[in-house]
Amino acid sequence: MKQRPLGRTGQVVSEIGFGCMGMSEFYGPSDQSENWTTLGAALDAGVNFLDTADTYGHGANEELVGRFARTVGRHRVLIATKFGIVREPGKIERRIDSSPAYVRAACEASLKRLGVDAIDLYYAHRINPDVPIEDTVGAMADLVRAGKVRALGLSEVSPATLKRAHAVHPITAVQSELSLTERAPEDDMLPLCWELSVTFVAYSPLGRALLTGRNLSAEALDETDYRRSLPRFVGEAAAANARLAGNLKAIAAEKGATPSQIALAWLLSSFPHVVPIPGTRRPERARENARASDVRLTRDDLERLDGLFPIGATMGARYTEAGFAGVNA
Ligand SMILES: NC(=O)c1ccc[n+]([C@@H]2O[C@H](COP(=O)([O-])OP(=O)(O)OC[C@H]3O[C@@H](n4cnc5c(N)ncnc54)[C@H](OP(=O)(O)O)[C@@H]3O)[C@@H](O)[C@H]2O)c1
């Protein structure tokens, strides 16, 4: 597994990270023992950068990640978690809190659930535009000075907000959606992150499974699956996007790889400062995704992929209207 720098921290992380969200909610039920085996498979494959958030499973996901880290050895993994999306248990509806008092309380609660002394990378999950970013990042910087947090990140912020935040305290990572089916950050955020030596952590790098070649029709998704509510996965858009993603199959066959591996390798080969964090609940898929680090794409391959998945080609919005709250804030 190759490594990439984590911002300017002097630390490196596996160039394929791991998103733990689906182990606790959003993509249908999961099995706790298989989750554990899957995390072990990822670690054995060289993946050491685990992504969670306080809101995933209402704390259950942090508890899982913390227990795993403490069991295998805290030093073997980097834990990234997030604060700011506040939901009632069992509800998707949320409010966003990025106030300094909330930052402090949320960090204490996350440390307790994780059962660790410090969080390696602490992100504001969403920003409430009514709270100046300087106040939010000021409170986050206090956590660094107190030794509770090692580095700071922001999720789904605008370039202007990143610049303001970076002026208060170095920002180590920006986490936003980036994949062959979601290329908007290429316009301004990716160049800005490069300029500021900020690592861009690509979430939903497999397009929430669109790019894996799997059948994602409404019948194939569990009744509780959150994707059933996302415009990209419904009706005409779902069919059009499945056709678009089908373009990966031929390239994957030619390269002796899987569609998921090509989607991840495209990110790694296109952007030297991007670290994708694919999520899965299955050990064999964790191994498959980790092996994307070995897939070599040529300039011709990249041009072909860029042509097959032009910016804006995916049909339907990536979130519902409510889901866009706090995005690009
Ligand atoms: N900052 C934010 O606002 C934000 C938002 C969303 C996600 N995230 C983070 O990003 C992480 C990854 O994003 P994501 O989970 O939304 O999307 P993703 O990684 O693009 O896709 C996950 C989906 O793909 C399936 N999958 C994964 N590898 C596969 C493979 N090799 N073959 C077939 N299917 C495969 C998974 O199913 P199985 O589990 O059944 O394998 C799951 O349904 C999350 O876990 C979370 O940590 C952050």
Q: How far apart are CA 80 and CA 52, in angstroms?
A: 6
Q: Which residue's CA is the nearest one to ligand 1's atom 30?
A: 285
Q: Pick from 299, 198, 207, 280: which is nearest to 248 by CA?
A: 207
Question: What's 55's DSSP letter?
Answer: T
Q: Which residue's CA is the nearest one to ligand 1's atom 48?
A: 203
Model-level pTM? 0.97
Show the ligand 1 pocket: residues with CB < 6 angstroms.
19-22, 27, 51, 125, 155-156, 175, 203-209, 212, 214, 260, 277-282, 285, 288-289
C-alpha 203 – ligand 1 centre gap (Å):
8
| Helices then strands, each counted (H, E), the chain | 10, 12
Q: How far apart are CA 91 and CA 58, in angstroms?
A: 10
Is 123 an annotated catalytic residue? no
pLDDT at 215: 86
Give the residue, out of 16, 18, 21, 177, with the most ligand 1 atoms within 8 A of its beta carbon, to mutate for a pocket test.
21
Please tell me which residue in 56, 102, 123, 226 is annotated as part of the active site: 56
CB 287 within 8 A of CB 47: no
Boundaries of every domain in the chain: 12-324
Tokens standing for residue 320: 């519902």
pLDDT at 89: 79
pLDDT at 88: 84
pLDDT at 93: 83
Per-residue exposure over 127-166, b if at least 16 CB sit within 10 Å of its own CB, e if not: bbeebebeebbebbbbbbeeebbbbbbbbbbbbebbeebb
Q: How far apart are CA 319 and CA 229, in angstroms?
A: 8
Give the residue, out of 16, 20, 203, 232, with the most ligand 1 atoms within 8 A of its beta carbon, to mutate for a pocket test.
203
CATH fold of 12-324, please? TIM Barrel (3.20.20)
Q: What is the pLDDT along the chain (329 residues), one digit of tens a residue?
A: 999 999 999 999 999 999 999 999 999 999 999 999 999 999 999 999 999 999 999 999 999 999 999 999 999 999 999 999 999 877 778 899 999 999 999 999 999 999 999 999 999 999 999 999 999 999 999 999 999 999 999 999 999 999 999 999 999 999 999 999 999 999 999 999 999 999 999 999 999 999 998 988 878 899 999 999 999 999 999 999 999 999 999 999 999 999 999 999 999 999 999 999 999 999 999 999 999 999 999 999 999 999 999 999 999 999 999 899 889 88
SS3 113: helix
- Give CB contacts under 8 A, 24+ apart, made by 245-248: 245/180, 245/181, 245/207, 245/210, 245/211, 245/213, 246/213, 247/308, 247/309, 248/180, 248/211, 248/213, 248/308
Supply φ then ψ for residue 114, to 5 degrees.
-70, -30
Amino acid sitting at position 222: D
Tokens standing for residue 88: 């009632």
Q: Which residue's CA is the nearest one to ligand 1's atom 4?
A: 203
Q: Pick from 162, 77, 57: which is nearest to 120 by CA?
A: 77
In terms of DSSP bridges, do strands 18-19 and 12-14 run parallel, antiparallel, or are they unpaired? unpaired
